[in-house]
Structure 1
Amino acid sequence: MSVLELFCAVDDFVMSFAPQLQASQLAASKQRARAGQLWPSEIMTILIHFHQSRYRTFKSYYTQHVQVHLTSEFPHLVSYQRFVALIPSVQVPLLAYLQRCYGACTGISFIDSTSLEVCDPKRISQHRVFAADAKRGKTSTGWFYGFKLHLAVNDRGELLACCLTPGNVDDRAPVPTLVKKLRGKLFGDRGYISAPLTLWLFEQGLQLITRLRKNMKDCLMHLSDKLLLRKRAIIESIIDQLKNISQIEHSRHRSPTNFVIHLIAGLIAYSHQEKKPGLHLDEHALLAA
């Protein structure tokens, strides 16, 4: 997606969302913000486009690309320091736009979590930015310090829901929040095995399907469910793209608010990808898997 196409999509949303945001601010007795040089849609577009670029740091992207090559698209650019100060102002619109970018539930969903490390474990005692929020957690690859990003996706590779928790939160805890609008079958790893959770999901119209632990008895499983369970790697491919292409994980954050905003922008950038990891399910493909 080009910068122009991205801006048009973001600006159309902001134009429809702005009256609701202003009404909520007035209801909360907040003064109306004065218009600045950059419109919220321009700030949002730059933040999202950064995660579509190949720059590793936002400062390099803004000073070497935006201020050099995108001056015609954004004629009222501000300095880098001023732009960083404007970033928190678009947190609510970005979050609302992310929800607009969610895909539709197809009846086949996958759920998983991934670690978002905020600093090297050796520097935990010196870390200050996320000292009040980040926690020690453990994944299959070892211990980390930071947060967990919980995701639910469909078989087309589209995001359905997401949730951010401290690193020490059990993967099963945010499931009720993630599956509010889901139906059909939900595939997860062994970390989601729980009899109470399975029963609760069944009452909500969802069938939780996971692999069995070694100490569990074998149970009959439909062939199609067994084949789809092998395709659970789709969500791991999505997480890999989020980390390596959208760059949602790094240790250079200096503000919790900007960390959340850049995470949201990275998820939106992935949602706008033309090609996403998908199963392209049909009867022949399923039987040949």
Structure 2
Amino acid sequence: MVGVQLSGGLGNQMFEYALYLKLKSMGKDVRIDDVTCYGEQEKQRVNQLSVFGVSYERMTKQEYEQITDSSMSPLHRARRLLYGRKDLSYREASCNYDPEILRREPALLLGYFQTERYFADIKEQVREAFTFRNLTLTKESAAMEQQMKECESVSVHIRRGDYLTPANQALFGGICDLDYYHRAVAEIRKRKPDVKFFLFSNDMEWTKEHFCGSEFVPVEGNSEQAGEQDLYLMSCCKNHILANSSFSWWGAWLDNGKDKLVIAPEKWMNGRDCCDIYTDEMIRV
């Protein structure tokens, strides 16, 4: 048996589920652990995949304890004292493609698996799985969708909020700054002059202060807890400017347009080589 541990928000869960589909396509017996990483404060993040109406086999408590050798029964505790713990968990070696992820069995796979390389050969299956079957658009979102379809629309994802904490600043800070967005906007305008930019952000007041004018349209009214509305609207745009975030990565990936432009930051994380997160179509600026 192989387990895939679900963690993080919607964008991360999508990468983890895509890996689940890949392992299933290889004929493996696969389960998803959707419990361990979500405590009381993160209950609202559990299984955000429900917007797609996907299903999966869940790992039971007994299966988790067996694969991680974590049973608290007296017999298992005594054996661990004598012989040590036999934990079959495996964490991805880096933020790039790790072939060991597809080879390990039995194992509980830990990580984010943020590269298309894991599922490139089952792309259409992944795309079909991530159809918004259970999404009911708000009136505001429906009106915004119509606007996006009627113009040469560009989604612009500006992630602040949690990215401003000291821990996240060390990893993600200073990459998608104002200079990056100015370069990205200029690159889009150079290639497609008649465009309209739709702004997605978890700090819209800051965003509106720095991006104003008739060509910039703030997408407002959707909370982070209702991120599926924004993800769907991103996917409706015809071009994309990404933040260094799995959320906007998927927003662009779900857009199946043949002529789309996708602009991404030259670097994804500080101090780490994340070259495999980029798809062939991405223009790095």
- TM-score, normalised relative to structure 2: 0.27
**What TM-score comes out, normalization by structure 1 length?**
0.27
